[in-house]
Amino acid sequence: MGRRVAVIGQGHIGLVVSVLATEAGHSVLGYDTDPIRISRITSGGEDLGDVPRDRLAAALATSRFAATTDAAALHGFEVAVISVSTPLSAGRPDLRCLEAAAKTVAAHAHSGCVVIVESTTWPGTTEEIVVPALESSGLRAGVNLHVGYTPERINPGDGIDAMVKIPKIVSGVDAASLAMVAEFWETIVDTVVLAPDMRTAELAKLIENTFRLVNISLVNEIAHHARDLGADVWSAIGLAGSKPYGYMPFTPGIGAGGHCIPVAPRYLAWRIGETGGAAAGLIEMALAVNDAAPVWVSERIPHRPGAARHRRRTGGGARGGDHLQAQHR
């Protein structure tokens, strides 16, 4: 049976969740404070990230999906999924959007509802930041309020259906919450993976992104020195990729981009520092290499008269990419 679902945040993750939940038979309200974003969604006339216009239009046509900036419309939700931005501010975690979203949900929470945090953040955030905000409603997590954390997993560009096939980590503040969170996500994705607790689920997401950062930074550092070593880094990576175990190929570039990889490891490094333990030396070094990568690449691009005109004439594309790769060798 479909549930009344509120998805807080209609960005590149929240909108995907909204459409998939609608297609699964739920009645979904997408909430966002950005009126321009909501207008683009409700028009249904364009592709928005991994949500193609036909899927969005179809979801809207069911009358089970609506998008709004009116928080009062959240009243009566059964499941709320918080999927808002958790950026950096001066190199430190900025949870203002997450805290504001939790307070908005708290104003409309009721006994027995389920609140799920989807945003990437440091271990302990849901327990220490979100739960107290939700409990301002007078409800108590693990008593008459179900709370869980499920880290988002989506590979931008793979399309909306790819998210259904990616195993979903789910966690809860208690056993009953875990069961409720898992039950909801089982209606949307093929596989759910139970985490022992919310902190471990939060850490798992940071590990996934930090793994990629470290390996991207590693191969960029090797590329930096390959010429002095008299070796072709691209050929070396290709040869290493012939090993069928214990290796995953990464290729040099201008550093790690996207929504998560440059940000999530800083959340982890910051949290490790806050616990009073030793500094996260390897993560900090990987971040430094990644931050320096764009400058190093730009310095290797030859600046000659007519170069920009030539790139325009050839249309860039694969040829431009080959040219840039050659400068890494």
Catalytically active residues, by annotation: 260
From the CB of residue 320, how many other CB atoms can be counted at a distance below 10 Å? 13
CA dihedral (44, 34, 75, 127) in degrees, to 10, reads 120
**Nearest partner of 143 among 103, 121, 98, 174, judged by Cα:** 174
What does the block give as tokens for 99? Answer: 């805290």
Cα distances (Å, whole numbers) of residue 250 to 205, 214, 224, 235, 273: 20, 10, 14, 12, 28
What is the distance in angstroms between the CA of the first residue and the CA of the last residue of the chain?
57
Cα distances (Å, whole numbers) of residue 34 to 12, 37, 124: 13, 5, 28
Beta carbons of 206 and 268 less than 8 angstroms apart: yes
| Identity at 310, one-letter amino acid code | H
Q: How far apart are CA 156 and CA 260, in angstroms?
A: 11
Long-range contact set of residues 10-14: C-beta below 8 Å, sequence gap at least 24: 10/34, 10/37, 10/38, 10/41, 10/67, 11/37, 11/49, 11/83, 11/84, 11/85, 12/49, 12/50, 12/154, 12/156, 12/259, 13/83, 13/118, 13/152, 13/154, 14/81, 14/83, 14/84, 14/118
- Strand, coil or helix: 241: coil
